[in-house]
Amino acid sequence: MGLIRTLVVDDSAFARKSVREMLSRSPLIDVVGMARNGQDALQMVEALQPDVVTCDLVMPELDGVGFVRAQMARRPLPILLLTASPQDAERVLEALQAGAVDFVQKPTALASDELKLIGEELITKVKAAAQTPLKALVPHHPPVCAVAPVSHAPSNVDIVVLGISTGGPQALRFLVPQLPADFSVPMVMVLHMPVGYTAVFAEKLAEASKVSVKEAFEGCPVVPKQVLLAPAGRHVSFGRSALGAVRVQLSLAPLDKPHRPSVDVLFQSAAEIYGSRVLGVVMTGMGDDGKQGAAWIKAKGGTILTESEQSCVIYGMPRSVVEAGLSDAAVPLASMAEEIFKRL
């Protein structure tokens, strides 16, 4: 891979300088230009042909959301957002839905020491964004009709557990609205997001879906016709009551996981509680969270689906599962809802 030509967009001269300095620490990244707002960025993208754009969310004239929409209409391009506050969660989700690859949470807008803390994360995400297939950036729109179950035979699955990261909000906004209101088993999902974003995302998913969608909470019942999203900052596992009902357990431990919530923790607990009657789904994202959990599910006789490379924004997590020999089928996003029903 050659140098990653990167355009930095921010209305703050200090932030532009800081982001350029952070990215310049990597010998693989070449900052080819800096723009003051989305309108300038549109012109500079055309002139400079960057591989990746980093873009502030809140700017005058044309903000981050407007820039993403306008640029994706012209030419799909990997765009990373920088946002200062979870209060902007709705706008971040709008930009992701419009085609942005991912976002980075700035500790504050002005404190130089804190701003530099995001440098390593930003470099990692720029490198990953540069590998994103452009066709995976085009927003997917779910079918008007929900997927119908293929048969009324007794189900071999008691729960669907799903792990996803980079590209996840976009993929889940396509997948979950296809589930019917009478979805026959519970679904529990881990999506890697900073604290302050998962509750808003669950609300947005619920508005677009026929099935009930909510952020999981301590003691939350795990029941059919419901999709639960793990809250950022807490691992999700399961426990049975004296009467046999399964409920959510939230925890900070284990502390040695790179992500909290962790897909591995969710999958392992599902395997321990539900045995062979688990369907695990690993979708787009960086890293290998979900590989160990998939091994637990397979060891108990459960089934694992992975998103195929062709539709992933980042083919990292699914690749790790496939290369470990743990995937029963690789499925593109467009067919994932239908495949889940087949497995039920």
140 is catalytic: no
Mark 281-317 as b/e (b = at least 16 C-beta within 10 Å).
bbbbbbbbbbbbbbbbbbebebbbbbbbeebbbbbbb
DSSP H helices in 25-118: 38-48, 64-74, 89-98, 112-116
Q: Which amino acid is at 209?
A: S
SS3 of residue 28 by DSSP? coil
For residue 10, report the phi and psi dihedrals to the nearest 5 degrees: -165, 140
Q: How far apart are CA 35 and CA 41, in angstroms?
A: 5
DSSP secondary structure letters along 278-319: EEEEE-SBSS-TTHHHHHHHHHTT-EEEEE-GGG-SSBSHHH
Q: Which two tokens stand for residue 128?
A: 């990953």
Rounded-to-integer distance, Cα 20 and Cα 119, Å: 10
What gap in Å lies between CA 122 and CA 102, rounded to an integer? 10
- 269 is an active site residue: no
Catalytic residue among 259, 289, 308, 311: 289
Active site residue 141: no
Select which of 56, 192, 209, 264 is catalytic: 192
Using DSSP's 3-state secondary structure scheme, residue 65 falls into helix
Q: At 310, phi and psi to the nearest 5?
A: -60, -30
Please report the sign of the dihedral spanned by the C-alpha atoms of residue 269, residue 102, residue 317, residue 75.
positive
Which residues lie closer than 8 Å to 184 by C-beta, 6 or more apart? 149, 155, 224, 225, 344
CA distance 311 to 18: 33
Q: What is the DSSP letter of 341?
A: H
Residue 84's contacts (CB-CB under 8 Å, 6 or more residues apart) are 57, 58, 105, 106, 108, 109
Catalytic residues: 165, 192, 289
